[in-house]
Structure 1
């Protein structure tokens, strides 16, 4: 499988899904290329040895990399940050088209703008993509204060909805993220939870000599280490407040990293006269190991925001792997992970008294118990979160997404748009006349609308001319379909004239002229894994199943025909199906105007099979 990794940040920049991930996918037998920018994160300055140019090709440890230009910046300015994100998205969209067509693309988010080159590849070359969400936009933008304009946040939310619909599969790092996306209408089967791993090849966790420990100030103290970004989201004033409460005890807080809040926190530490808080300069992953190895406990903290209750901070995996007790000041999924692993203590975020109490509790434990806690931490990482575990799951997800990809897809879309425009133009007057007949015979509204599953299972509103009345029984409920279907409506169905408004769905991109028919939303959970392949392509106005039995075929047969079509889709087959459809419609072959009169609904049939073995 040929995989393109689209990520704004890549080695030598610090990133969760960088060179280590690419090499592991190669080890699993896949061909991998990377589309990224010139390295400038997190300082906003282009790294030594690089300069921004129209493009640069290189090979990093056997992985081909194409770098495209961007505006280097990563400070507190929203305008500059936007320029950084958008410049990469624009240049990567061009670069993606110049690369050899992959079977599938992988997109690392944030930023959300990195999805643009993947959507361009999807539209112009038919390449499906997997979207790996590390934080939820616009939620994170609002929670961290990066963006406060309500109109802009709404616009970002609308853009994210579009990305979620276009993605073949979505990976998230926590169960809470998955639940939030499902609440927003993303189909359940489309979202998989794959936790992060850490840079296993870059961090040497061998404890340094005693002399080195003395140099770093670790001797004779109970050292609680916070390693990572010092931003607003981390709310690290809580650590300083806890340090005040522990001023006369053996606990020491070691802050290592950097960020927009670092200087202010240093100033506050000096103003308070806190001698039990030390700041160490930021270090690359290759040099952070000795600090983690010397720690007595590792601290993770985020401010008390509902968004962070459904996330797992990126440093969690590195801290678990270090094999030291964790102090987790994050609610929800992150706290649950620590408790499940038996890897440390949790405390409410932004509660300095609770943090101080948790430190005292750890200090009071026998050293052997703290050692066992650290061993459980490292074991949990190895069994559930390690690179080999996560990359194997991503390979499965990428393979599932690739099944819906075809170089024919853009051609198919072009044919759909051209034909639907021509037919709608040619039939506009007859369709208006038909609409008038529907209005006079059946009433308003003329167009029947119903939510149906589209490509990847995403819901869309399908249009048809109405064929039934709205008659209700004494209880106020609609009468059965057979009672509400008039002779005029039956004639509409038998001639397939009721399907004409679906050409508007084709024009919008919800449907294709040819594809599996969009069934009812409630049927989707009853598809087998193989039958779910019918969701990898746009549903059709007509399809292979419709010209091979129409409504008279069994559900198993019809769904099997849909899967066969997905696996054999091509222009010649589509033209054949369209010609056979014309013959079927003109000959009214296989027509059943009330399908429920001859067969069970799919959900009823499958429930019955499950109940009776």
Structure 2
């Protein structure tokens, strides 16, 4: 059965958005069942797009993805009150729909900004117990302060408190840069709760761009540096106009092309006219499918943000689109984004809000040979493909969704574990008493074999099972080899798996599960590879995938590979299958011992093994 994911995002196609139809479509391709819950498209202009009108609910299918649109107050202007109404109205609609009408998903993904989406997701999680992955694209309240959207310190403090509430309520947080993760950790979010998952680009649109170049697009005699995206306060594009003034005074052939919409467009157009700039061209927003045509026509691509400590830990998402397009970058953002371009060799660096350096860097690009520019573009594209691509990013989100979905399923499974283990202890009470007497009579005391084993996340617990060996020793007091201490009765207990019955008590206590990787010796822990150690991401089990696929006849590497496969693919139905196969294996008494051993050779790492040890 496909894992059902609800994507909660205020903005979705046809609006410009980083995690829109490309994300949803790739999740569907990777086997997820997806429902997008979003608003009616109005960003960034604040007016509802043609072909849409506000109503209580509208369902549509875009590229095979189910999209549910909810009512909101459309606005994206300068008014703080109207902006709050825009955010709060969608959050209210999303909360009501998610609480009362949405088909229950295995996991919910919430896109931030705005913070109100996180609040709605947190409340839905609280009332419906649906795990939430919270994707933070802007760090609030820092971004609000940095962009000037909100300057009241008391209000900023309230926003910060709400953020902390959301961080505590959600199950996992994804951030777009290492700097964001570091900042969240400074604010008390546990490191294990945060994953860095870089943004990606709309690769399909970039691979097959459509549309024609606008008539206003500069000709090839100019060196065309394109900025594509939202034009708001955070982009601080006055610095670009100031650089254009310097370039025009120098008679440079550099020309800036500013493509997109946003709250600052009208003012910037008016200012460019006042400055009589002939080397700045403004183009209206175009569908993402047509952006690729403009990117390919440009000679270099510009990223610019306001100079602010927050933006030093930000990687603007247009960076990935530019790199995927295979064009040189002019990166005018300090910090993580500049480091990305520097490490990949994808372009030229300029400081934020420094018109003089921006102009100098633009001229340096314009002076390069075509081969050098093409080389920069190739490096950008290669780095994107290897580290930032859609496939890599969505696979990481998919792993989180499956993990949280499985965790929810296994919370329910925990109830079954306790119920079945308790019932089994009750039903087998008389056989257990008889076995206790027989073990005491034939093998001696203590009746139970107790040993500390690593459990969930490697935490130690005391495993209990019936002993199957005597304490026979040689003349100097050393225990005899396993083969000599394992009696016919002990061999019967092992072959029938009756020695495992006391572990039902470990299941009731929450230290083990009925199904999971078998708990091995604590001394093996430092010998595991990072991949093998993942077997401890779940509770150990009385039986497991390795036990029904060879048990002790497998090599250690084969057993660990099967254990990790189980961790990545576990479902309630798989557990039922393993329990059924266990019954069959017990009846035929298959795979009890490794060849030439009484039980299983000792694990000494991935290249050697030596005999010994009860398992």
TM range (shorter): 0.5 to 0.7
Between the aligned partners of 1:69 and 1:91, the Cα distance in structure 2 is: 6
Q: In the alignment, which residue of structure 1 is the partner of 2:258? A: 255
1:270 positional shift: 1.8
Is 1:302 aligned to residue 305 of structure 2? yes
1:124 positional shift: 2.1
CA contact (8 A) 2:345 2:376 kept: yes
Q: In the alignment, which residue of structure 2 is the partner of 1:65? A: 67
Q: In the alignment, which residue of structure 2 is the partner of 1:7? A: 9
Q: Within 5 A, what are the aligned runs for 1:184-333?
A: 184-203=187-206, 216-247=217-248, 248-333=251-336
Paired residue secondary structure (2:103)? coil
Is 1:33 aligned to residue 30 of structure 2? no
Paired residue secondary structure (2:179)? helix
Q: 1:405 to 1:253 in 2, by over 3 A?
A: same
CA contact (8 A) 1:44 1:75 kept: yes
After TM superposition, the score normalised by the length of structure 2 is 0.66
1:430-483 CA distance string (max 9 Å, x none): xxxxxxxxxxxxxxxxxxxxxxxxxx9xxxxxxxxxxxxxxxxxxxxxxxxxxx
After TM superposition, the score normalised by the length of structure 1 is 0.66
Q: Within 5 A, what are the aligned runs for 1:101-180?
A: 101-180=104-183
Give the one of 37, 46, 49 matched to 1:47.
49
Paired residue secondary structure (1:312)? coil
Between the aligned partners of 2:222 and 2:341, the Cα distance in structure 1 is: 24
Between the aligned partners of 2:131 and 2:93, the Cα distance in structure 1 is: 20
Q: 1:165 to 1:275 in 2, by over 3 A?
A: same
CA contact (8 A) 2:39 2:71 kept: yes
1:371 positional shift: 0.6
Paired residue secondary structure (2:174)? strand
CA contact (8 A) 2:210 2:289 kept: no
Q: In the alignment, which residue of structure 2 is the partner of 1:459? A: none
1:272 positional shift: 1.8
Q: Unaligned stretches of 5+ in structure 2?
A: 416-456, 458-508, 512-525, 540-566, 573-615
Q: In the alignment, which residue of structure 2 is the partner of 1:92? A: 94
1:200 positional shift: 2.1
Q: In the alignment, which residue of structure 2 is the partner of 1:522? A: none
Between the aligned partners of 1:91 and 1:207, the Cα distance in structure 2 is: 35
Between the aligned partners of 1:70 and 1:202, the Cα distance in structure 2 is: 29
1:405 positional shift: 2.2
1:67 positional shift: 1.6
Q: Within 5 A, what are the aligned runs for 1:344-359?
A: 344-359=347-362
1:531 positional shift: 4.9
CA contact (8 A) 2:176 2:314 kept: yes
Q: 1:390 to 1:281 in 2, by over 3 A?
A: same
Q: Within 5 A, what are the aligned runs for 1:442-521?
A: none
Paired residue secondary structure (1:246)? helix
Paired residue secondary structure (2:205)? coil
CA contact (8 A) 2:206 2:324 kept: no
1:29-76 CA distance string (max 9 Å, x none): 111111111121112122222222221222222212222211111111
Paired residue secondary structure (1:201)? helix
After superposition, the CA RMSD in angstroms is 3.0
Q: 1:568 to 1:290 in 2, by over 3 A?
A: closer
1:279-311 CA distance string (max 9 Å, x none): 122222122222211111111111110000000
Between the aligned partners of 2:571 and 2:242, the Cα distance in structure 1 is: 65
CA contact (8 A) 1:131 1:169 kept: yes
CA contact (8 A) 2:180 2:313 kept: yes
Paired residue secondary structure (1:265)? helix
Give the one of 18, 23, 26 matched to 1:24.
26
Between the aligned partners of 1:356 and 1:196, the Cα distance in structure 2 is: 28
Between the aligned partners of 1:66 and 1:239, the Cα distance in structure 2 is: 39
1:577-606 CA distance string (max 9 Å, x none): xxxxxxxxxxxxxxxxxxxxxxxxxxxxxx
Aligned positions, number: 432
Give the one of 346, 349, 355 matched to 1:343.
346
CA contact (8 A) 2:406 2:571 kept: no
Q: More displaced, 386-395 or 51-60?
A: 51-60
Paired residue secondary structure (2:198)? coil
Q: In the alignment, which residue of structure 2 is the partner of 1:502? A: none
Is 1:181 aligned to residue 188 of structure 2? no
Q: 1:208 to 1:128 in 2, by over 3 A?
A: closer
Which one scores higher on RCO, CA 8 angstroms, separation ≥ 6?
1
Paired residue secondary structure (2:334)? coil
- Rg: which structure is higher? 2
Between the aligned partners of 1:121 and 1:208, the Cα distance in structure 2 is: 42
1:399 positional shift: 1.8
Between the aligned partners of 1:207 and 1:178, the Cα distance in structure 2 is: 37
